[in-house]
Structure 1
Amino acid sequence: MTRAAAKRRMLPLLVAVCALMSGCWDRVEIDQRGFVVGVGIDEPDNKEEGKHDEENRKGQLEKNQSDPKQSFKVVYQVVMPAGLNTNKGGGMEGGAGKAYFNMAVEENTMATSMAKLSQRLSRAPFFEHLKVIIISENIARRPQKFAETIDYFLRESEMRRSTRVMVTRDKAIDVLNTHPPDQRLPSAYLEELSDNTKESSRILPESRIGDVHEFLLKHKSFAIQAVQNGNRNYSTMTEAAVFNGTSNELVGFLNAMETAGLNFLEGRVKGGQIKFSFDNRLGVFNIERMSRRLECKFGPDNMPEFTFHIRVEGSVGELLHAPDTLKEDAIDNMENAVQREIVKLMRMTTNKLQHEYNCDVMGLREYLFHNHYRWFKQHESQWEEEGHLFSTRPVKMDVKVSVRRSGNINLTED
């Protein structure tokens, strides 16, 4: 066998060995990773803030909104694995017991802020376990800035599409420092808090970055969860941040009652309670299940009119100074009282969305797209932007409540 023939025979073996050895070329040991579990995005600290009056602060906000190169402060929450060991001594606040630390950098792009973070961390930043992204109100109100801010995370190969995105009226750093006694990682606490939709109808369903990406691509108005910093020990999540689909900027918030109304309008109520009153009696209705159907009819002017058909079933969880709740008239009175409260919540939400924000986040646009496509394509540009058709369309509420279990613990004579 010639030397050339031997080399030709060895070539496939060398290729196979190289292919097998290349399988771990980019491996990074777990103790060399810096696990980022939370990101907060704020405006840079204003050192002169205490010297400016309200008018100057508003002028600074307007300047920030018009300056695309305006920098922002990014806070990264990084896990300290040793602090997650519950068998170790030390408190949760510091020393060996602390499970995380926050590191802040200022930049005008997310990619360069991450690069700056890499220059400060001894371990390479790793985003595969990122749980929440908190964006402050001032950042989200800048035109297109919200979309530009999350653009980096959408492109990042390590990112999960289920990462939660939230907006806060407060500073994102304060929210990321929320530290309840029963949870070592504030980011994990916020993620779990966003899932409590079965316990409260005033919490919007979780806002995943994948869903937000879809809204942005379709130029749809949308609402996502808003979180408020209560104090060091807790935060609350009973508001919704409303975004305009054209400019992709935050236009305002829905309060707790309006958020509950939006959940009913979208058919996304999984549980919770409704307080009601009748004949000077106060009660609480436990929601067990609901259904929602949207109906659209066109009038003589070829314009749509909408009716939300809502069906709610549940039980009476509490009733003060109760009559005999087994009587039919008592059940009817309770059902009517709960029905009025639900209609009130829905009406509050539609009034604000139509007449203050002009943002259709309750599903009317999507319904027309799927069920009346030809009409929708003819009037699409007039729905929210040019003609403001959304704000002028009549919306009716058809709500029926069924009390399945009323209980009869305490009989009180009328």
Structure 2
Amino acid sequence: MFKKLSLLAAAGGACLCMQARAQLSDDVVKIGVLTDMAGVTADITGKGSVVAAQMAVEEFGGKVMGKPVQLIYGDHQHRTDLGASMARQWYDRDQVDVIVDIPNSSIALAVQRIAMSSKKLVLISGAGTTALTNDQCSPYGFHWTYDTYAMAHGTASAVVANGGKSWFILASDYAFGAQLARDTSEVVVSEGGKILGSVKHPLNVADFASFLLQAQSSGAQVIGIANAGNDTINAIKQAGEFGITQGGQSLAAMILMINDVHSLGLDKAQGTYLTTSSYWDMNDKTRAWSKTFMERTGAMPSMLQAGVYGSVLHYLKAVDKAGSDDAGKVAAAMRAMPINDAFTDGARIREDGRVLRDMYLAKVKTPAASRYPWDYFEIVRKIPLDQTVMPLSESTCRLVAKQG
């Protein structure tokens, strides 16, 4: 059901060992990467998420308080029942202290509920639904990298401002796609645009013909693609085959990763706006980290994989600061410390569990503008924080103190 990677280091002095024995529940810190190893989001999570977690453990030194850090990983296969079963086993039988990644919002919501009942931590990078920090928030849950609110407000606002006023939404038929479609529609309307129609498609569908024909016949200026991974790639490829963009309609991918652009090619993806929380080519730190990642995986990191790295590193710092692997104490330490890693400077965790971080509006380069391998994004601008997170005044999270 899952694989195990041990990252062990010799303990320090005798006093440190005695202290760690007293404060770590089972003499080891165990991290579970629950991910998609072969499905629709495998390229943007999967093996890369496991490697990213490994790199965080190595960066921290391979041990906490003189005790080893152990990493395990498993494939949820986009099945909520399987993902939930694995989480219960990891928390309750295998003594996993924290689960990370979890691409698929339905599974992430289920795991967060299990984590709360087990009083264990969950750090979600791969899933996007705002329910994780809204009506289904948890004191043990942290939403790390992005959410549908951020992606919709970043990308849809830019496209509407650029003249794309009428939209048709093509969305995947599960929690993530439904939420992203709702958020996108709200942004388009609030910015003065209109929604002419929408359609939902099954997860990991091969043939988008009927869905794209509906979008084409709507006459909308913009077709908003509210899905992820291979579904996004296939939808954009088939839209080109149907001559949709040649006919004057534009595509707006509401979530698009660098790996998706690599699969599509710049000729098909060029000019597409997107919102991202990280990019490998931002500065010397991101380039150095990403070079090592590339050597191990053969690809540059998606923002989701970079998020897994950051979440694991911050967790280990918090365990060390708390002097314990007790979930409540570690959660408090995580909230108290600023988040700093190769991709993040001075982010923080809000009371609802949402990480407040910089987000960027990017545009896919033309083939002529790309100077070297994986030189795919032009960073257009940093998006103000108040445009990328749901205001607490709109929150239904019970952890949020209400005013008045």
TM-score (norm 1): 0.21
Higher strand share: 1
TM-score (norm 2): 0.22
Greater C-alpha Rg? 1
